[in-house]
Amino acid sequence: MDIKEEYENNHREVNFEAKKKETELLKKKNKSVLIKENIFKYLPFILMGVFVFIAALNRDKITVENILEFAPKNLFLASLIILLFYAIKSLSVIFPIAVLYIVSGKLFNVAFAILLNVVGLIISLSLPYIIGKVSGEDLVLKIKSKYPKTNKIDEFKNQNNWVFVFIFRIVRLIPGDLGSILLGAINTKYIPYILVSLLIRLPSMITMTIFGNNIDNPGSPKFILSLLIRVLFFILSFVIVYIINKERGAKIELDTKNKEA
């Protein structure tokens, strides 16, 4: 072997070792990036788990009286505290939102309390939706690949996001914040999601806010009116759910007959 061949062989060995090291470094880098991405992706669920655990331990302490004691005298700071509680509520799942409606009604005049509660609802609806959008999409794809029939949900959603969200919220197959996570995970459009979800909650929120504003005077016309509106809204919701279920049942029956024919 001459000097030239020996040099070329040595050069090849050096290049091979360099490429091997480069490949190993790239694999380690990709693995590190993947771990960081997964941590970022599933961190919201971990935080939610922590908040759920804390809320469960302190559930008996989440009352109107305790929050009123905690709220500062300064109304601006009190507003910020209420909005913070809305954010916490969206992450803790089991936090009773009606408590915040009543507290706002008790602390502020009705008009401002309703406006504050609308902002709070937007926060509490948006956070779990974003969590679902960021962290839940991969899980939904796995479920779809394993259970192809779940693709029908997507088909229904894609036909009309507005109607889909309305039925999803009225029927309440999945409660509140967990439902919001799912709607984010299946890529429901944000505008139909937030507006329909907000409109469905408005009657209950308004009546509970008025209730809170007049809680010290249960014989007042406003207090009685808020209770009556709440009862009427409950009856209306029941009627809507009944009609939707009846129509869906009729459609399923018709589809079954068409297939048999």
34-62: pLDDT as tens digits: 455 555 566 666 676 666 676 666 667 77
* Two structure tokens written together for 47: 């935080």
Q: For residue range 60-117, list pLDDT tens digits in order.
A: 777 788 888 878 888 899 999 999 989 888 888 778 888 999 999 999 999 999 999 9
Q: What angle do CA 126, 127, 128 make, to 5 degrees?
A: 100
- Of 201, 183, 185, 202, nearest in space to 193 by CA: 183
Q: What pLDDT shows up at residue 7?
A: 44
Comparing 57 with 204, which gets the higher pLDDT? Answer: 204
Q: Any idea which residue has 């009705």 for tokens?
A: 110
Give phi and psi for 40, each to the nearest 5: -60, -40
Q: What pLDDT shows up at residue 124?
A: 93
Q: What pLDDT shows up at residue 117?
A: 96
* Number of CB atoms found within 10 A of residue 177's CB: 25
- CA separation for the pair 254, 50 (Å, rounded): 47
CA dist 106 → 100, 167, 169, 228 (Å): 10, 32, 28, 19
Mean pLDDT of 182-189: 88
What is the crossing angle of helices 221-260 and 190-213, to 10°? 150
- CA separation for the pair 183, 177 (Å, rounded): 10
**What's the burial of 206, exposed, middle or buried (CB within 10 Å: 0-12/13-18/19+)?**
buried
